[in-house]
Structure 1
Amino acid sequence: MSSVLAFPPASPSASLAYLQHKLAYYTDAWDLAEDMANGCEAIVVFDARSDAVYQAGHLCGAISFPHRTINAATTAHLDRQKVYITYCDGIGCNGSTKAALKLAALGFQVKELIGGLDFWKRDGHPMAWGSAPGEWPAAAPAASCGC
């Protein structure tokens, strides 16, 4: 008996619905880098880690917004038409989930960055340091993950 087939696969229509649903919650580093390189104004990237850790290195273009500071008062100025992408260190950190949860509870559209900063750096995307988000480099290589 097949270990893989011990649990039969879902029907194609059930798989389609599930996978579309799953992609509504997450983005990956390659898709995000492509949008940032193209100047997509529909998204805003939030680094959910502490300010000190943000200053030590963050996604180029990301804004520091520690999850512990997210509340109705600190988000009052945010544009509710945008989609907010949250990230933290990586799969061993749930700061991005906490940030996305708080933003969603306040009525914002959110997605989490799969793999956070770890996957961003692994894929060689632009970084910035200090307290400013940083400017996307004009000469950044085109995203090509091979998938």
Structure 2
Amino acid sequence: MNDTAPSPVLRTAPAAPAEAVAFFAARLTFQTDVADVHASIRSTHPGFILVDSRGVAGWEQGHVPGAVHLPTADIPARAADLLDPALPVVTYCWGPGCDGATRAALALAQLGYQVKEMIGGIEYWIREGFPTTSATGTERRAVDPLTSPVNSASCAC
């Protein structure tokens, strides 16, 4: 490797600090993570409605306790009956390899809802050891040490 060549990381220069502030603030405006959703729904007033945008098979396999089941395709017809327009909505789908939560968030925003996407989806919810519920009851899997500290309530990030 040529030591005078720019590193692969710096081939494209970092943004100016003001641009970085705008970009990262925007990301936090549009996204939240599973740990913050979990901490919020454990409180008495989380301040948002959590929407599982997967189909029936995914919902029945297991979902976040307290979530509302509203598949993306059903949003135009059913959102007004299921969601309070005064409350922000947080959407989730399968995981980082799926953009279903993004499509659901877009559909809800087009209807006038304030919305965020839960990054990581149900996959990271489960991998971080948070409970899921189904017709057979509540299940909590062991924490995946690649996604969250095993002996801590949060990553403290």
Q: TM-score range by the shorter chain?
A: 0.7 to 0.9
The TM-score with structure 1 as length reference comes to: 0.85
**Aligned residue for 1:127?**
132
Q: Is the 8 A contact 2:70 2:79 kept in 1?
A: no
Q: Deviations over 1:8-64 (max 9, x none)?
A: 111111111110011111110101001011133411101101123202200111111
Name the residue aligned to 1:75.
79
Q: Which structure shows the bigger proportion of residues in helix conformation? A: 2
- TM-score normalised to structure 2 length: 0.80
TM superposition shift of 1:131 = 10
**What is aligned with 1:110?**
115
Alpha-carbon distance between aligned partners in 2 of 1:62 and 1:116, rounded to the nearest angstrom:
12
Instruction: State the 1:122 CA deviation.
Output: 0.5
Alpha-carbon shift at residue 95 of structure 1 (Å)? 1.7
Q: How do 1:1-147 residues align onto structure 2 when only pairs under 5 Å count?
A: 1=5, 2-71=7-76, 73-77=77-81, 78-130=83-135, 143-147=153-157
CA contact (8 A) 1:104 1:110 kept: yes
RMSD: 2.1
Asked if structure 2 preserves the Cα contact closer than 8 Å seen for 1:54 and 1:131, the reply is no
The unaligned stretches of length 5 or more in structure 2 are 139-150
One-letter amino acid of the counterpart of residue 43, structure 1: F
8 Å CA contact 2:62, 2:134 repeated in 1:
yes
- Corresponding pairs, count: 139
